[in-house]
Structure 1
């Protein structure tokens, strides 16, 4: 236990690491192996298996870290994330979310938890470095489509994803102890929705560039149709979150239209100069298209499960 920055109360150094998984046993094992090299005895780990058949059981229960293993039979990432939140105890200073297809650096746990303590942020988002396969198409590498934007440490963000994020207990409780909205389960975006609300409740969301995790890109996602759908879907999620939280729609739509116009001009210039598809210009076309479509109720059910 230690004094917080204001010296007003005692805070715990314990943190919960919550992992939702669905039929990725090899990736999950790699993540757990990397966590074993990063965490200390202040970390509690829970793995929530969203496969009712329990396909991750053998990996989790046989791992030296001995994480808590739970099965959440209700399909959907929101349900799995919420099951993880049930393990967020009052003695946890925060909960850290990381995806099952990622792996962490040896100093990751110490870095992200220390930055949360020292910065006073309610939410800390770390970078996710995408590792492309050697045979990735040349246009994918040239266009920079899978490399996420890397902000400077200390940059304030409007929201966050659960792929490398720490949420403090104080910020969570101030926001009313929210849970992930199942209405976003098949479309994605329940994390953006939750952290948007946490920020609106007064928390600062800060970027920590030193708390690094990495991820692979599966071959099934190395295609233009997948990228096109993902960019549009991201725009739709932002529109849905805006409407759900009662944010002004007219400025949101106006900004989307302006960005779309700039994006169309940039795509035309890229084409004229023979550059091919570029992430920056394509995003400025497809994400605003998604935002406008989302305002009219359009949905992309990227995570819908058959049956």
Structure 2
């Protein structure tokens, strides 16, 4: 049990403010080579389904689960985590990250996993509203081993609560980045990914830049930094995860906000890669040129795409980039406090 975080020795963890909320009995951290990380925030019912899907994995690989509760006030995920860890369905632990925000939660998950399981070489992530297919972990691990890729990604397939909205699966907000398995230039989201330990050793800490904490897109920024370091990416189309899509995420207002957010993320990721005034001027010119072109792309898409909501996406992304350039952007991960 040496090296495990405890309530009494919390100051030995990467962030002293994090507290251990639950841990598997008789956990041996040195026997674990694979860790699945789950950031959690106010979705205990969905988290239960996520954990059930992990407990049902068809694999011979031994893995642990690290959960991070990011709502220190209510901690609704902790009882679910405690129940599963006590049942010995899989080993692992749950910590509470009191600093709220997307990047804080994900950094806490990866940092805790890296520190707690020194023998682990592969770190996967799944969100607390996602369900892994039975062979998900086996496919991700076998692909990483066979290809030697630094980062492996897979599709997150939308599962709409409202069956009438299933046509939106073609919307860029829900459609996977790639259709077939194989080497890819980069992946964009961490909701279904595997990252080697060596990646974290090469990328500056914190892994997810806190400038994206409330906007989102810390994963896109992280993967582009990995790309610039020459790391290799691979896509596994068969390693599917399904994501629950509530009716609130199929409304026009949410989809517009999503497009604006993607545009803002794109701007900030590019802005970080433009350290000189000349490069920043080029980025500004690029944005100005892309803005009117986006209307042309939207009009062209409207001729081939039956759903106008999908057709207007390029335009909302371009508008989001321009707004971000002048300091206006959404902050969906800045949740209101609940007392």
TM-score category (smaller protein): 0.7 to 0.9
Q: Which moved more, 1:164-173 or 1:250-259?
A: 250-259
- In structure 2, runs of 5+ residues without a counterpart are 1-30
- The root-mean-square deviation of aligned C-alpha atoms, in Å, is 2.7
Cα distance in 2 for residues equivalent to 1:243 and 1:126: 27
Normalised by the size of structure 2, how large is the TM-score? Answer: 0.78
Question: Measured at CA, do residues 145 and 245 of structure 1 come closer, stay the same or move farther in structure 2, by a change above 3 Å?
Answer: closer
3-state secondary structure, aligned to 1:87 = helix
After superposition, what is the alpha-carbon deviation per residue over 1:178-237, rounded to whole angstroms, capped at 9, x for unaligned? 422222111111111222212212212222112110111011112001000101101111
Q: Establish whether residue 182 from structure 1 lines up as the match of residue 214 from structure 2.
A: no
Report the equivalent of 2:325.
295
Cα distance in 1 for residues equivalent to 2:52 and 2:157: 18
Cα distance in 2 for residues equivalent to 1:145 and 1:245: 24
Report the equivalent of 2:65.
45
Normalised by the size of structure 1, how large is the TM-score? Answer: 0.85
Report the equivalent of 1:3.
none
After superposition, what is the alpha-carbon deviation per residue over 1:89-128, rounded to whole angstroms, capped at 9, x for unaligned? 4411121111110001111101001111111211111001
Is the CA contact (8 Å cut-off) linking 1:253 and 1:291 kept in structure 2? no
Cα distance in 1 for residues equivalent to 2:271 and 2:176: 26
Cα distance in 1 for residues equivalent to 2:79 and 2:332: 28
Cα distance in 1 for residues equivalent to 2:173 and 2:208: 28
Cα distance in 2 for residues equivalent to 1:283 and 1:93: 38
Report the equivalent of 1:87.
113
- In structure 1, runs of 5+ residues without a counterpart are 1-11
Is the CA contact (8 Å cut-off) linking 1:157 and 1:207 kept in structure 2? no
3-state secondary structure, aligned to 1:148 = coil
After superposition, what is the alpha-carbon deviation per residue over 1:230-268, rounded to whole angstroms, capped at 9, x for unaligned? 011011111111212337445655655565545423433
**Any residues of structure 2 matched to 1:10-159 within 5 Å, and which?**
14-38=33-57, 40-52=60-72, 53-63=74-84, 64-85=89-110, 86-88=112-114, 89-137=117-165, 140=168, 146-159=174-187
Question: Measured at CA, do residues 40 and 130 of structure 1 come closer, stay the same or move farther in structure 2, by a change above 3 Å?
Answer: same
Q: Establish whether residue 215 from structure 1 lines up as the match of residue 243 from structure 2.
A: yes
